[in-house]
Amino acid sequence: MNATSLSSWAPRALSLLRIVTGLIFVEHGTQKFLGFPGGDFAGSGLALDNMGAYAGIVELVVGALIALGLFTRPAAFIASGTMAVAYWYAHAPQNPFPVNNGGDAAILYCFVFLYFVFSGAGPWSLDALRGHRQVAV
């Protein structure tokens, strides 16, 4: 394989990254909001006045939109902002180092979603079916 043939796969790799990231984000939302599949919030019956419940709703809805590639840029913008707030609100006060405060995933999500704001959804998306063009940078 040469660089040219690998580059031809870049749009599909973008779509794959978007789908997997969106699905994992949905899983974080179901864990926070629905208590499934277990973990810290499992069975906690979060009240809607709890910031974690709001984050769970955002993760469910926005994660699904991103996984489907529907309204990807605005959904990714919201997701990126949510992860930035999550990091500074929940993780950074504990310790300044992400590896020690558990915020490394929030930082990665923040920047992957920010990338989707600029890249768009890729070819395997509902946005592509709706005829939204990718912006060349």
| Ranges of the chain with pLDDT below 50 | 42-44, 136-137
Domain residue ranges in the chain: 11-129
Question: For all residues of the chain together, what is the average pLDDT?
Answer: 89
Extract the tokens encoding 25: 């984000």
Residue 52 to residues 1, 61, 123, 131, 134, Cα–Cα distance (Å): 46, 14, 33, 35, 33
pTM exceeding 0.95: no
